[in-house]
Homo-oligomer: A and B are copies of this chain.
Amino acid sequence: MSGANTFGRLFCVTTFGESHGPAIGCVIDGCPPGIAIAPEDFRADLDRRATGRSRFTSQRKEADEVEILSGVYQGLTTGTPIGLLIRNTDARSKDYADIAQSFRPGHADYTYLAKYGIRDPRGGGRSSARETTMRVAAAVIAKRWLAERCGIRVQGWLSALGPYTPTRFDLSAVEHNPFFWPDPTQLPELERFMDGLRKSGDSVGARLSALAEGVPPGLGEPIYGKLDADLAQALMGINAVKAVEIGDGVAVAAQRGSEHRDEIGPAGFVSNHAGGILGGISSGQNVLVHATIKPTSSILLPGASVDSSGNAVEVVTRGRHDPCVGMRAVPIVEAMLALVLVDHVLRHRAQCGDVPPQPRVAAGSGPFVFPEGI
């Protein structure tokens, strides 16, 4: 058994660290050798998830300098475990002193104490989303290997922000606005909405989507290691996620079989309602996943709670926080998607590395028939 802080079965990422402890870090074990990697390669994705990117996200500033402690020699991964370390440099623990004895509603304060009999209250300790920094860092290596060796590329975006959903879909726009939003025409409206939200002291939920292109058919291990099941585990394990969908997701409840099943023509699949996975195995189409994130409970509006003695208290979050944590989660969703995929590529070639090439159905038309297909 891997410990509970290890993700993956063959490409294994073990993370450690609390929000306001000395450092966070991870160990990547089982990484294929020969991948070029340098400290600066982590910069782009860490910046994408970083706090402080815009006025709509938490103002915590972390340098997030990654130190490579092991597993890389002369710029190449060696196959031995890769240790990565980031020092925490902007941890204002005093912000949290007054909540050490009470349970913030909607947070893990109570459940950590109930489980372990002890908790680190500084910034949420281990339950803070700060931990996801290391997921993103580890996935930088995964993404590179997937791209270079397998031709697989992942890209995420925001597919709902509170009451808003995109009215059109332009993937190329996603990286050019702070919302990772695929519809540039809606940006002014979103900004107004977020400004109002921030002033109100409240927060709102979001839905994130991500796509993996170039996934070969055959990834996934029925019955209990299905690709979609492992993706669900990966995405539901991201802080605040309350729903995971594959392909058409919750919409399938109201669909007919004649509508949902993706027919196949000589040119390949005709549609992609399935999100690229059939029977828990990738079909060669784009893999499409969605995660819905709850509104953060760290808001400026007072909430009712109790302290550890059971007395009623009023809790107000004074620390830094985001009105919509979903915006920062796009690189995290991408990271988990990439980590699941690299793991399944390794698992697949372990068992089936000597299977002769099979006839292949073309990926056909992708999932980009917006909005119906997404």
Within the complex, what minimum Cβ distance (angstroms) separates A260 from chain B?
Answer: 5
Of A53-61, A167-175, A182-190, A307-315, which binds chain B? Answer: A307-315
**A22 contacts the other chain (CB 8 A):** yes
A257 vs B82: C-alpha distance when bound (angstroms): 32
Q: A3-B6, A81-B14, A106-B278 are in contact. Are A355 and B257 (CB under 8 A)?
A: no
Chain B neighbourhood of A85, CB < 8 A: 69, 85
Q: Are A70 and B22 in contact (CB under 8 A)?
A: yes
- From 335 to 374 in chain A, residues with beta carbon under 8 angstroms from any chain B beta carbon are 346-356, 358-361
Within the complex, what minimum Cβ distance (angstroms) separates A157 from chain B?
Answer: 14
**A47 contacts the other chain (CB 8 A):** no
**A97 contacts the other chain (CB 8 A):** no
Which of A112, A115, A131, A232 gathers the greatest number of chain B CB atoms within 10 Å?
Answer: A115
Q: A206-B253, A232-B233 are in contact. Are A34 and B263 (CB under 8 A)?
A: no
Chain B neighbourhood of A6, CB < 8 A: 2-3, 6, 12, 14, 29, 224
Chain B neighbourhood of A296, CB < 8 A: 257
**A156 contacts the other chain (CB 8 A):** no
The 7 A-B residue pairs with the shortest CB-CB distance in the complex, in nearest-first order? A108-B279, A1-B1, A3-B29, A106-B261, A4-B221, A203-B257, A233-B233
Within the complex, what minimum Cβ distance (angstroms) separates A145 from chain B?
Answer: 9
Within the complex, what minimum Cβ distance (angstroms) separates A74 from chain B?
Answer: 8
| 6 new A-B contacts at CB < 8 Å, known A16-B29, A103-B361, A264-B306 | A78-B116, A110-B283, A202-B257, A223-B237, A229-B232, A233-B236
**A83 contacts the other chain (CB 8 A):** yes
Within the complex, what minimum Cβ distance (angstroms) separates A349 from chain B?
Answer: 5
- From 89 to 143 in chain A, residues with beta carbon under 8 angstroms from any chain B beta carbon are 103, 105-108, 110-120, 125-127, 131
Q: A78-B126, A297-B257 are in contact. Are A25 and B224 (CB under 8 A)?
A: no
Q: Are B237 and A280 in contact (CB under 8 A)?
A: yes
**A52 contacts the other chain (CB 8 A):** no
A258 vs B204: C-alpha distance when bound (angstroms): 9
Say how many copies of this protein the assembly contains: 4
Chain B neighbourhood of A119, CB < 8 A: 73, 78
Within the complex, what minimum Cβ distance (angstroms) separates A128 from chain B?
Answer: 10
Chain B neighbourhood of A30, CB < 8 A: 3-4, 350-351
Q: Are B355 and A34 in contact (CB under 8 A)?
A: yes
Q: Are A250 and B245 in contact (CB under 8 A)?
A: yes
**A222 contacts the other chain (CB 8 A):** yes
- From 6 to 22 in chain A, residues with beta carbon under 8 angstroms from any chain B beta carbon are 6-10, 12, 14-18, 21-22
Chain B neighbourhood of A21, CB < 8 A: 69-70
Which of A15, A221, A261, A349 gathers the greatest number of chain B CB atoms within 10 Å?
Answer: A261
Kindly report which residue of chain B lies nearest to residue A247, judged by CB atoms.
B242
Chain B neighbourhood of A120, CB < 8 A: 73, 78, 80
**A295 contacts the other chain (CB 8 A):** yes
**A214 contacts the other chain (CB 8 A):** no
A80 vs B127: C-alpha distance when bound (angstroms): 10
